Amino acid sequence: MKDVFQAVQVTDHVYWVGAIDWDIRDFHGYTTPRGSTYNAYLILGDQIALLDTVKAPFMGEMMSRIASVVDPQKISVLISNHSELDHSGGLPAAVEAIRPGKVYASAVGVRTLQELFHGALEVLPLKDGDRLSLGNLNLTFLETRMLHWPDSMFSYLEEEALLFSQDAFGMHLASLDRFDDEMDPDVLKHEAATYFANILLPYAPLVTQLLARVGNLGLRLGIVAPDHGPIWRKDIPVILDAYGRWARQEPTRKAVVVYATMWHSTERMARALSEGLKAEGAEVRVMAMDHVHRSQVAYELLEAGALICGSPTLNNHLLPQMADVMTYLKGLKPRNLMGAAFGSYGWSGESVRQLNDILVEMKVEKVGEGIRVKHRPDAGVLADCYALGREIGERLRAKAAPAA
Amino acid sequence: MKSYECGVCGYVYDPAKGDPDNGIAPGVPFEDLPEGWTCPICGAEKDQFSPL
Ligand SMILES: Cc1cc2nc3c(=O)[nH]c(=O)nc-3n(C[C@H](O)[C@H](O)[C@H](O)COP(=O)(O)O)c2cc1C
Ligand SMILES: [Fe+2]
Ligand SMILES: [Fe+2]
């Protein structure tokens, strides 16, 4: 054995040659407790192609895995499906080491790679629907703009019914297992949903269009190979269905109560609200931003029907950790939510109004004008919070499906 | 009235449909969209659009 890092065979002609990042915990502000993988793929056709690379520090691992099946110098085509640095970071070094005849990306990808590497690479554009022959095998390309970057595209290997889907259908999950059927389905569901909620949700309408398009093209999907996490070879209908459902954003009877607190008054209000919600049969998550990460809130909100947010006032503003999560959630454009704001204050009390303004910008259907209390909530205020929770719970029951 | 396509993400502004989610009623020509209107999908500004 030349090296410990080996390629993993996916189909007759395709090998996984990516890298495993066991240690990453913060992926541009998305918390990744299970690490991740950067998946690159080698197609051993008459001509040999490499699809995507890995994050720059992992290039040694990728090159070793390639060398375990083929002399890297024999690769003649490099294709970049997504120019974000977790997949393109290794591209200049790969081009240097491999000297392929051609490097391809989508037309927007050509521009993005230029903006990233400033002429260090010569990249040729592929249009939507273009085909590329590797001799005995053929690739077709589909632009998937804004899923999740303007340059993103899919590559489809016709003879092996294999879709290279870059970030779509992926997840952050480090593992030595490479295939969905080797892993715990509950973990896959959780991590795939977390990925969708944090990366793809802003473009949910485009996901719906893309799924329809893939359906209309009648592509046979024997394998779906994303750029992070497991390769789907068994539960392809499961992940496609889940994407369809998440993209529709149908609300369920789940309510997310997200808040932050200094002296626990806002926390008491959150607890009273949550009990009222539960009394009406809602499934409730209570998340204190003092302890949880914004990307976990995004996950919980994905299938929810209500967002209830609370903050005390600090120097005339929201607590910074609430501003953080609300800015983040607003950017993710969740739809079909109802909600309300609450919070304690000492003298000026701006936070509830600020939260209400954000809820309006987020197009959340507001239930009531919010609940504000000076200093500690007494039994009466807590009863108001409980009643607001019940009201939201009732409305959820009237309009939303039971939580999964 | 002409439809316009966003050069970043491919979204098409169809004046017959407007952009009701962002307060633009059906029937507003692209040229009359207010300053500050941006692509509802990717956020690109008006000057990134071209006629179809
Ligand atoms: C999840 C994600 C979403 C992004 N959204 C946008 C966006 O909406 N508009 C934009 O102009 N750039 C967007 N970007 C691109 C970043 O702004 C770009 O990669 C930038 O160069 C990063 O700068 P930095 O290296 O200082 O982090 C996004 C990047 C990521 C990872
Ligand atoms: Fe990405
Ligand atoms: Fe990625």
What's the pLDDT tens digit per position in A228-279?
A: 999 999 999 999 999 999 999 999 999 999 999 999 999 999 999 999 999 9
pLDDT above 90: percentage of residues in chain A: 98
Q: Give, for A106, the enclosing helix (H) or strand (E).
A: strand A102-106
Contact B8 A363 (CB under 8 A): no
Direct distance between the N- and C-terminal alpha carbons of chain A, in angstroms, rounded to an integer: 48
pLDDT in tens, A139-163: 999 999 999 999 999 999 999 999 9
Supply the pLDDT for residue A231.
98
pLDDT tens readout for residues A31-44: 999 999 999 999 99
> Is any atom of ligand 1 closer than 6 Å to the C-beta of A28?
yes
A317 neighbors A350 (Cβ within 8 angstroms): yes
Tell me, what's the pLDDT at B35? 87
pLDDT value at position A1? 57
* Residue B21 pLDDT: 87
Cis ω on the peptide bond leading into residue A375 (within 30° of 0)? no
Closest residue in B to A152 (Cα–Cα): B9
Nearest to A298 by CA among A239, A246, A367: A246
Which one from A52, A61, A86, A191 is the annotated catalytic residue?
Answer: A86
* Span A203-214, average pLDDT: 95
What average pLDDT score do residues A47-55 get? 98
Helix, strand, coil distribution of chain B in percent, nearest 5: 15, 25, 60
pLDDT of residue A292: 97
Amino acid present at A144: T
Mutation pick for ligand 1 pocket among B39, B42, B48 (CB with most ligand atoms within 8 Å): B42
Point out the ligand 1 atom lying closest to the alpha carbon of residue A331. 8
Report pLDDT for A119. 86
Which DSSP symbol is given to B24?
B
Look at residue B25 in the predicted model and tell me its pLDDT.
95
**Residue with token string 């009623």:** B25
Q: How far apart are CA A306 and CA A276, in angstroms?
A: 13
pLDDT classification of A82: cutoffs 50, 70, 90: very high
Residue of B nearest to A361 (CA): B22
- Beta-strand (E) ranges in A120-276? 124-126, 131-133, 138-143, 153-157, 162-166, 223-226, 254-259
**Average pLDDT in the A369-398 region?**
98
Average pLDDT (A194-216) is 96
Contact check, Cβ <8 Å, B10/A205: no
Average pLDDT, chain A: 97
pTM for this predicted structure? 0.95
Report the distance separating Cα A349 and Cα A352, nearest Å: 7
- pLDDT above 70 for A342: yes
What are the Cα distances from residue A209, in Å, to A198, A203, B4? 19, 10, 19
- The whole-number pLDDT of residue A181 equals 98
**Radius of gyration of the CA atoms of chain A, in A:** 24
The CA–CA distances, whole Å, from A281 to A7, A162, A206, A317, A392 equal 50, 44, 33, 33, 10
Q: Does A85 touch chain B (CB under 8 A)?
A: no
